[in-house]
């Protein structure tokens, strides 16, 4: 029987995963501070977990204002957990939620082998954690998530932020960039698929589709029936996933109106 421990129980993705699968999977949510290894040890004792999913971590914005806290939570805690799990007789499958921001911008869709070039503290520490896991733990999966969206997302993320600015008639500074957006429910499906298939790999998790940021803004404004105030720069960057590796394991993307309706 699969026994799953998740950290970051109250995070956007963690909450969605737990709510979606709490009735069909045996999930034990760790609700305390991820930096307290002794508490994690107590929590895991006698649970015989088969999977450990790390949703916990400080967001990109919080990392910008608290680099020391970001280092401790987003890297040092991962290092400590990996070292602890390595001492167990039955080492659980460690699933690490990383980010597409470890990559460089590219005109081509990004493969897992594409060049990395993290541009902020958050992404640098995600990549540092990835490298530590790869070097020191055998039973792992690293998920490089592209832009995740969905209901009840924090206003610090692109789609809720834009929606708020349109409603409040605020100026939206934007460029002609293209991104890959994936619904949070689809991310949860990917994680369950990986658990079932026991995949040990670094994987891109996105829609594999190009979405113009300006088009998304116009779509939202149409839904809200309110014209946005745009200041458009000529700059254009692209960050879109090649998800052929994930699909090669048999994962079938689920695209429907609910998912593309932002």
pLDDT per residue of the chain (262 residues) written in tens, 0 to 9: 899 999 999 999 999 999 999 999 999 999 999 999 999 999 999 889 999 999 999 999 899 999 999 999 999 999 999 999 999 999 999 999 999 999 999 999 999 999 999 999 999 999 999 999 999 999 999 999 999 999 989 888 999 999 999 999 999 999 999 999 999 999 999 999 999 999 999 999 999 999 999 999 999 999 999 999 999 999 999 999 999 999 999 999 876 545 555 5
Contact 50, 101 (CB under 8 A): no
Q: What is the DSSP string of the chain?
A: --EEEEE-TTSHHHHHHHHHHTTTSEEEE--S-TT-HHHHHHHHTTT--SEEEE-----HHHHHH-HHHHHIIIIIHHHHHHHHHHTSSSPPEEEEEEEGGGBPP-SSPBPTTSPB---SHHHHHHHHHHHHHHHH-SSEEEEEE-EEE-TT--TTSHHHHHHHHHHTT-EEEE-S-EE-EEEHHHHHHHHHHHHHHT--SEEEES----EEHHHHHHHHHHHHT---EEEE-S---EE-B--HHHHHTT------HHHH--
- Predicted TM-score (pTM) of this structure: 0.94
Residue 156 has a pLDDT of 86
Provide the CB-side half-sphere exposure for 176 (13 A, CA): 4
The tokens 């409040």 sit on which residue?
168
Residue 261 has a pLDDT of 58
Q: Residues 115-135, buried b or exposed e (16+ Cβ, 10 A)?
A: ebebeebbbbbbbbbbebbee
Residue 255 has a pLDDT of 64
Q: What is the DSSP string of 167-217?
A: HTT-EEEE-S-EE-EEEHHHHHHHHHHHHHHT--SEEEES----EEHHHHH
The strand pairing partners of 98, in sequence order, are: 144
Q: Which residue segments constitute the domains of the chain, with CATH numbers given?
A: 3-260 (3.40.50.720)
Residue 1 has a pLDDT of 84
């Amino acid at each position: 029987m699969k026994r799953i421990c998740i950290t970051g129980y109250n995070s956007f993705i963690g909450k969605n995963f737990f709510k979606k699968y709490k009735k069909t999977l045996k999930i034990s949510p760790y609700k305390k501070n991820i930096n307290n290894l002794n508490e994690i040890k107590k929590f895991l004792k006698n649970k015989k977990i088969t999977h450990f999913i790390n949703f916990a971590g400080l967001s990109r914005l919080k990392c910008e204002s608290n680099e020391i806290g970001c280092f401790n939570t987003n890297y040092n805690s991962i290092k400590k957990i990996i070292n602890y799990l390595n001492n167990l007789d039955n080492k659980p499958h460690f699933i690490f939620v990383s980010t597409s921001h470890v990559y460089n911008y590219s005109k081509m869709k990004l493969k897992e082998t594409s060049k990395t070039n993290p541009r902020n503290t958050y992404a640098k520490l995600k990549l540092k954690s990835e490298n530590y896991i790869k070097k020191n733990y055998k039973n792992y999966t690293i998920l490089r998530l592209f832009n995740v969206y969905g209901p009840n997302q924090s206003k610090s993320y692109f789609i809720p932020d834009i929606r708020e600015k349109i409603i409040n008639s605020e100026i939206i500074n934007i460029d002609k960039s293209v991104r890959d957006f994936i619904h949070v429910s689809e991310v949860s499906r990917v994680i369950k698929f990986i658990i079932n298939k026991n995949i040990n790999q670094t994987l891109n998790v996105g829609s594999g589709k190009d979405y113009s940021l300006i088009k998304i803004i116009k779509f939202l404004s149409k839904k809200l029936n309110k014209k946005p105030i745009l200041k458009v720069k000529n700059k254009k960057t692209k960050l879109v996933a090649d998800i052929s590796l994930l699909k090669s394991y048999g994962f079938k993307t689920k695209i429907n109106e609910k998912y593309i309706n932002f």
